[in-house]
A and B are shown apart, each in its own frame.
Chain A
Amino acid sequence: MLDSALRGVPATIRPRRSRSIDRLPLLLGLVSFILWMVAVQNANALLMNPYGLASVLGWPFFLGLALIVVALAIELLHVRLRPTSLIVLIAIFAFFIYGTASAVEPVAGLESSYIHAGFIQYILQHGHALSDYDARFSWPGAFSLGSVFVAFTGLHNAIAFLRWFPVVIELLYMAPLIVISRFSGVGRRAGWLGIIIYYASNWIYQDYFSPQALNFLFYLVIVATVLACWQPARDEATAVQKFFGRTVTKVRLMFARFRGLGRDTYSNWSAFRVLLIMILLSLVMLASAMSHQLTPFVIMLGLAACILTRRLGRPELLVVAFIFSVAWLSLGASGYWIGHLSVIFGGLGQVSGTLGQNVATRIVGSFSHRLIVDGRILCILALYSLGVVGALRRRPDSRALEALVVAPMLLLAAQSYGGEGLLRAVLFGLPFVSLLAASAFLPNLTGPMKAIVPQMPFRRSGRLVLGSLIAGVVFIASLGTVIVRGGNDAYESYTNGEFAAVNYTYNHITPGETLGLIVPNLPIGYRDVGVINIYSADGINLLPRVRAITFERNHAAWIILSQSQESWGVNVAGYPVAWESNLEGSLLSDGYTIAKAWPTATVLRAPASFIKKN
């Protein structure tokens, strides 16, 4: 008898009923979680080498990772899909990929997360954003929400949220991901596999404490709701196919007026519910428009992709997304663009320049750093290649997934986004390309649209082959992600000593004084926003002689030298080992004195003659 849950899985590979392995996946999941806890307990972040986080993880971590992947593969091909078990196992898997850094490193990584905590602190204290200070403050929605949370929890600042934020927000993504996988036209098993592949391959570190992490959740929620609400009506190309080629007809219909009006979709939801959903989605879009520069435009592109592929029945939503995004840019964010409009529109149409800025400028530094960057590019290329295979193999009811992968890429034609446009475009397409990649293994064979390539049926041993293949690919992907995601942690993660040094400086620096840094790779910016000046020598070549004069000219009253900055110099800037010690010696000979020192950080104080307040 056919199990309805097995629709979409080729008949020849349908698993047979078995009771002996019913509890095995959860048992393996439990063992793997224990191994993870042992691994993070024994890992010492201070011993990290240039290859980052993976260099301090012992064998229990990798054994645990292998076990959780095997558990996921067994559960995925279980005769009856058990969503609860899958959710539990995926959550454990998410801890491996996104929770390890939080558990191993003594304080939260990435200086941007501390800067965002500082913005929240400012709003909490003053009740409004600080104008003309930082571009991000022109989109203060997420920071305002953060200040509400801080006030609600009775904390004094947002620092407590930073450390575990990545794993929490990634787990929050699971809800819309489940909806997207359920309603995107892939089979149920392929949908779950797509979610697993997403978690296994998201090395793009945009889930730190930031507006973009929250806005990615908004984006997923909007797309999930749209896909759940509207389904594609029957493809009406058949009647006119005799006169036009099928492809020509499909392309023509894509841009026909009735498709633009959303008339070749249908919804099983009640009219009142649809209206309510539209209001709620509009509110989410408004929140997004006020809290992030890029996401509102990606939402717009995503909705346009849904309309063109018969997955959005109300074009009003697209117009609302456009109006909110542009209106906020024009009114709310005018402090950002007044005086330098070219920052926004200067990159229009310069796709190759944008790509060059996004890719070529990153492949610099030491061998280990370039290896990590190459690994990241390789991971993305492999995933997209698998996605192409999935797109060719599946028989969908619409090509919405393909369109949602391509749509964010159009951003590159408009903006380089400070060299991060390609990263963001890939991130926004990642959930959908993961579902396509899952379709490479488990293609939907029952959709009304024809597959582009003929099917290759599995034989009698199909289940074992498929399970092994899935486990192998997911393990390799997750291993790659663990390595490349934490590959910069040698200079993007911080120690207690560095945090204490920053805190000491904040406690002693007076308003208007300048704090000097080699590069802002420190847990800095979480307080006293707009009160003190921070000078960073980032981008200035300090070689061949390490130049203390750079700081003296800029009247740096305080200087923090730290392990993460030294590691940045060696790995990214190509400075010789112990360059920071030379700089410290040079500064001391020029009159600076050591105010306080920790094993991983030193705070220097300038002589009175250097100090100039702004």
Chain B
Amino acid sequence: MSYAVIVASGALAGPPAVLVSTVAILVLLAARAWSGTMGLTLTRRVSLYVDGAIGVFFVLFLVFVIVRFKSLAG
């Protein structure tokens, strides 16, 4: 039941989905920029996790935006 609600286009098209993915990407980008600029050495694995998470949230962001366009554009 809850799964069906989550994947319903109405739920994905709502502002929270886009907003949450936006904030998530911004936080991760800030962390990446902070570590990169301040010379903080991250292990290769942590770097991959950060970059991977940014990539995943970025794809989610695009999906949410497209679903929102398709659902609301009429």
Contacts and interface: CB of A to CB of B under 8 A. Distances in A.
Given A274-B37, A278-B37, A319-B25, A339 B19 contact: no
B10 interface: no
A334 B19 contact: no
Interface string A213-238: 00000000000000000000000000
B52 interface: no
Interface stretch (A52-60, A322-330, A354-362): A322-330
A314 B69 contact: no
A323 B61 contact: yes
B58 A330 contact: no
Interface in B17-74: 18-19, 22, 25-26, 29-30, 32-34, 36-39, 54, 58, 61, 64-65, 68-69, 72-74
A337 B54 contact: no
Contacts of B38: 271-272, 275
A265 to B, nearest CB: 12
A254 to B, nearest CB: 21
Interface in A261-277: 271-272, 274-275
Contacts of A341: 69, 73
Nearest to B64: A330
B8 to A, nearest CB: 18
B15 to A, nearest CB: 5
A240 interface: no
Interface string A288-327: 0000000000000000000000000010100110010011
A512 B23 CA distance: 43
A142 B19 CA distance: 22
A535 B74 CA distance: 28
A323 B26 contact: yes
Contacts of A330: 18, 64-65, 68-69
Contact of A337 (B18, B30, B73): B73
A331 B29 contact: no
Contacts of B18: 327, 330-331
A582 B31 CA distance: 70
B25 to A, nearest CB: 6
B54 A319 contact: yes
A325 to B, nearest CB: 11
A338 B74 contact: yes
A338 B29 contact: no
A339 B64 CA distance: 18
Contacts of B37: 271, 274-275, 278, 314
B33 to A, nearest CB: 5
B53 to A, nearest CB: 13
B65 A316 contact: no
Interface residues of A, number: 20
A274 B33 CA distance: 10
A275 B68 CA distance: 33
A275 B22 contact: no
Contact of B74 (A275, A316, A319, A339): A339
A387 B33 CA distance: 36
Contacts of B29: 316, 319-320
Interface string A404-442: 000000000000000000000000000000000000000
Given A275-B38, A319-B29, A338 B72 contact: yes
A271 B33 contact: no
Given A323-B61, A330-B69, A341-B69, A314 B33 contact: yes
B73 A339 contact: yes
A339 B73 CA distance: 5
B43 to A, nearest CB: 17
B26 A320 contact: yes
Nearest to A276: B37
Given A330-B69, A341-B73, A271 B61 contact: no
B39 A271 contact: yes
Contacts of B65: 326-327, 330
Contact of A316 (B19, B33, B39, B72): B33
B54 to A, nearest CB: 7
Contact of B22 (A314, A316, A327): A327
A454 B68 CA distance: 55
A256 to B, nearest CB: 16
A278 B72 CA distance: 34
Contact of B25 (A271, A323, A340): A323
A331 B15 contact: yes
A275 B39 contact: no
B19 A331 contact: yes
A326 B61 CA distance: 9
Interface string A491-535: 000000000000000000000000000000000000000000000
A330 B21 CA distance: 13
A331 B13 CA distance: 10
A548 B42 CA distance: 75
A320 B39 CA distance: 21
B57 to A, nearest CB: 10
Contacts of B73: 337-341
B48 to A, nearest CB: 13
Contacts of B34: 275
Which of A323, A330, A334 has the most chain B CB atoms closer than 10 A to its own CB?
A330
Contacts of A314: 33, 36-37
Nearest to B69: A341
A278 B54 CA distance: 18
Interface string A328-355: 0011001001111100000000000000
B40 to A, nearest CB: 9
Nearest to A337: B73
A340 B34 CA distance: 41
A323 B29 CA distance: 11
Given A327-B18, A340-B73, 12 more contacts: A272-B38, A319-B25, A319-B54, A320-B29, A327-B22, A330-B18, A330-B64, A330-B65, A331-B18, A337-B69, A338-B73, A339-B74
27 contacts: A271-B37, A271-B38, A275-B37, A275-B38, A278-B37, A314-B33, A314-B36, A319-B25, A319-B29, A319-B54, A320-B26, A323-B22, A323-B26, A326-B61, A327-B18, A327-B19, A327-B65, A330-B64, A330-B69, A331-B15, A331-B19, A334-B68, A334-B72, A337-B73, A338-B73, A339-B74, A341-B73
